[in-house]
Structure 1
């Protein structure tokens, strides 16, 4: 009889645990919900279970039934930024989420330069410890995982940003969120989903890569690695797909170093990946990304070509790119230590483009067009309305060529937002390149101090063989 009672009790406990309301990890204490938006609340329970949800910001209670797959989902309207609030879920069990805020939520994704934190060697983070608790920032760290198919949960967790939790969190994301919190004066939620070494293919749904011959050919060239996945879709499925029900304001992205050897496909890959994320979130998400820094890669020109591909990706609507070549002091280190200014530049982009706040000239000057005038080439730029400046006695990393495709160091004169380039050895110039190498660091800036983006006026084939 005792054994039979124990059996019944164990069955009851198993049934009860299966019937209990469960929430995805993204719906938890300390979370931030996107303000003034339609937000999804969802989870699992027993099939047909009646669930009551009460949100304290409006004291409304809604009821719904779990479907035959033991899942449930409902839309709620969030107010303007504020909190803390509670959300109560009641069915056969009860869950109370506390310290819930309404504000602005951003996904921060990419590879190791987005992942890099205090412990990885970002010493400036230490300066934040004394005052970080005065900020209203919440951090969600996505657990590294892979999957062949899209998942509906990831065992990440929300944390209050303090001197302890900040140490393990993306420095770029934190500095980005800090500026937004101060300038917008609203709670900020940062979802950090990144994995060092990953090529962009793993963050793109696999079918979109495999059904495109150009992207597929590039993907199969990726070499197996011991520390990160290379299979298309594997990080997207486990580290992005679980959160696409969760409304967000936009995305910041820092990635590209692991795609330098297939740079020719990267523009199309970025366009494909961004479009897939926007479809998943059902909105044209702002997507602001970082151009990779100068670095001593093992093949000629591959870094320059990847940066060129990133510049071309700006043709995708509602995107922005920050240039960081001036933030590098060691081209042998693929992880520049200055993450503070990277976050600041991304934040200025978001404040200007997403939130409509005036941040002055927040875009780096970009090549627009050129004209040949006798033995000179005159170049015009976008986003240089207040003029260009040279930091130093003469321009660096600028080269000019004639029809023979032999490039010589150029003499540079600046006139407003125009660059006049020449070399006495080039009588009939046809092309100019600026900072168009793996490691070149130029010294031409906008008057506001933003570096001129690398460019070339030609489209000649380049040597991408191994550097001997």
Structure 2
């Protein structure tokens, strides 16, 4: 009998070895699926292999054939919030995903202020540890990962919230999710993708940065540094692209400090990122974000300009901005420790705008208009129907200028939702600014307690350097 060479035998054997059906990390036991959604299930298999899927909430058998390149994907309608459920996926092998909940899923992303957790020495989180265990809050933490090209998988696993898992999970995300879980009374899944020091460009597909001359030129001003990526697309490719097939309710975002070197284009870069994410998820995702906190960046206006650019992003539909200037104890620390109230304020935006709850105070008072009469300026504000209050005898960080553009400290008189502003040195005022330096912390708020957002009435150039 003719014997086949060893290499030929190995080749024949290899041809008959079939690959197991595989799933990405984000599809696993303990996960939370978005309720009442067309949820994608996907993975890898033999080309042409028939994959059968059974979800225990309907016990219906769905099936799909693997593509020629060994991928499969199917959309399964999810029910109203509930669980736990089981999903069985069967091809040549069988995968059983158990302890699955259906509820609300949010991506929580940004740089270090989103990344901060109990191990950073946060007292609010430490106080939560003895009582934080909640099987209806689930975490999926994506470790720092970069790539030059979009990836279809990333490291990570779904875990239930307990004291061990919370220690290394985003504090802002946790307090946001805890509030949603309490108010909505549904399971909440939180996907954290954050990396301290990163600029917004790395979270945006590179072609959307390099294909726009303004953004490309601006990105070239970013300063390379050891410890974090700065090239466009690197974090999007490694940490966002792999989860974009996964249905979510929306995203929360805390970032901006990493863009002080090119602050003047932040609004365009950020809105471009939001548009890219919405396109990737094929949904008009709500994005609620945090305006960066006061910090002593130096003699230039870099922090002020980032905050102004962030405020402009509010013009984009389905976005909301949280002001945190009143939550800062030390302007020499770029990492304020109060993440509890940041998370609650983000959750209030979501409850009001995404889930349509009423009676929630969530919008900061914002500048609306001005009127000059003699040596006084009358300013009116939105989101202050109950009126404004001033903490202390004198308004802080409020300044006024005439045509010479020299600003002087101003006095303010509150009349409902209006400020009457003046200064003895300015006889013919033309402009008013509030909290318009890098480390400025004001003392005016709405009667509901939310701080007045930084504003200026002029459009004079703010030099970045």
Fold match, TM over 0.5?
Answer: yes
Q: CA deviation at 1:463?
A: 3.9
1:239 partnered with 2:246: no
- The aligned counterpart of 2:255 is 255
Q: Does the 8 Å CA contact 1:29/1:97 hold for their aligned counterparts?
A: yes
- The aligned counterpart of 1:383 is 383
1:350 partner SS: helix
Q: Distance in 2 between matches of 1:453 and 1:436?
A: 10
Q: Does the 8 Å CA contact 1:361/1:383 hold for their aligned counterparts?
A: no
Q: 1:49 to 1:332 in 2, by over 3 A?
A: same
Aligned runs of 1:52-201 on 2, under 5 Å? Answer: 52-134=52-134, 136-201=136-201
Q: Distance in 2 between matches of 1:266 and 1:48?
A: 46
Q: Distance in 1 between matches of 2:141 and 2:301?
A: 35
1:233-261 deviation per Cα after TM superposition (whole angstroms, max 9, x unaligned) = 11001110111100000000000001112
1:389-432 deviation per Cα after TM superposition (whole angstroms, max 9, x unaligned) = 00112211100000011110000001000111000110000000
Q: 1:299 to 1:222 in 2, by over 3 A?
A: farther
Q: Does the 8 Å CA contact 1:135/1:181 hold for their aligned counterparts?
A: no
Q: Distance in 2 between matches of 1:179 and 1:393?
A: 35
1:82-131 deviation per Cα after TM superposition (whole angstroms, max 9, x unaligned) = 00000001111111001100000000000000000000121211221222
Aligned runs of 1:417-428 on 2, under 5 Å? Answer: 417-428=417-428
1:182-216 deviation per Cα after TM superposition (whole angstroms, max 9, x unaligned) = 00000000000011000000001111111111111
Q: Distance in 2 between matches of 1:366 and 1:164?
A: 40
Q: Distance in 1 between matches of 2:170 and 2:231?
A: 24
Q: Distance in 2 between matches of 1:12 and 1:349?
A: 59
Q: Does the 8 Å CA contact 1:299/1:464 hold for their aligned counterparts?
A: no
1:335 partner SS: coil
2:144 partner SS: coil
Deviant stretches of 4+, over 4 Å: 4-16
Aligned runs of 1:214-293 on 2, under 5 Å? Answer: 214-293=214-293
- The aligned counterpart of 1:19 is 19
Q: Does the 8 Å CA contact 1:351/1:359 hold for their aligned counterparts?
A: no
- The aligned counterpart of 1:371 is 371
Q: Does the 8 Å CA contact 1:411/1:421 hold for their aligned counterparts?
A: yes
Q: Distance in 1 between matches of 2:268 and 2:314?
A: 11
Q: 1:217 to 1:176 in 2, by over 3 A?
A: same
Return the TM-score normalized by structure 1. Answer: 0.96
Q: Distance in 2 between matches of 1:352 and 1:456?
A: 27
Q: 1:417 to 1:57 in 2, by over 3 A?
A: same
Unmatched 5+ stretches in structure 2? none
1:231 partner SS: coil
- For the aligned residues, what is the CA RMSD? 1.8
1:297-355 deviation per Cα after TM superposition (whole angstroms, max 9, x unaligned) = 13411111110000011010000000000000001110000000000000000000000
Q: Distance in 1 between matches of 2:9 and 2:190?
A: 45
Q: CA deviation at 1:135?
A: 5.4
Q: Does the 8 Å CA contact 1:291/1:322 hold for their aligned counterparts?
A: yes
Q: Does the 8 Å CA contact 1:348/1:359 hold for their aligned counterparts?
A: no
Q: Distance in 2 between matches of 1:108 and 1:168?
A: 14
Q: CA deviation at 1:10?
A: 11
Q: Does the 8 Å CA contact 1:135/1:178 hold for their aligned counterparts?
A: no
Q: Distance in 1 between matches of 2:185 and 2:253?
A: 23
Q: Does the 8 Å CA contact 1:147/1:238 hold for their aligned counterparts?
A: yes
1:395 partnered with 2:360: no
Q: Distance in 2 between matches of 1:11 and 1:99?
A: 41
1:136 partner SS: strand
Q: Distance in 1 between matches of 2:230 and 2:28?
A: 31
Q: Distance in 1 between matches of 2:15 and 2:188?
A: 39
Return the TM-score normalized by structure 2. Answer: 0.96
1:97 partner SS: strand
Q: 1:11 to 1:303 in 2, by over 3 A?
A: farther
Q: Distance in 1 between matches of 2:46 and 2:385?
A: 62
2:167 partner SS: helix
Q: Distance in 1 between matches of 2:406 and 2:276?
A: 42
1:342-384 deviation per Cα after TM superposition (whole angstroms, max 9, x unaligned) = 0000000000000011243211011111111110111111111
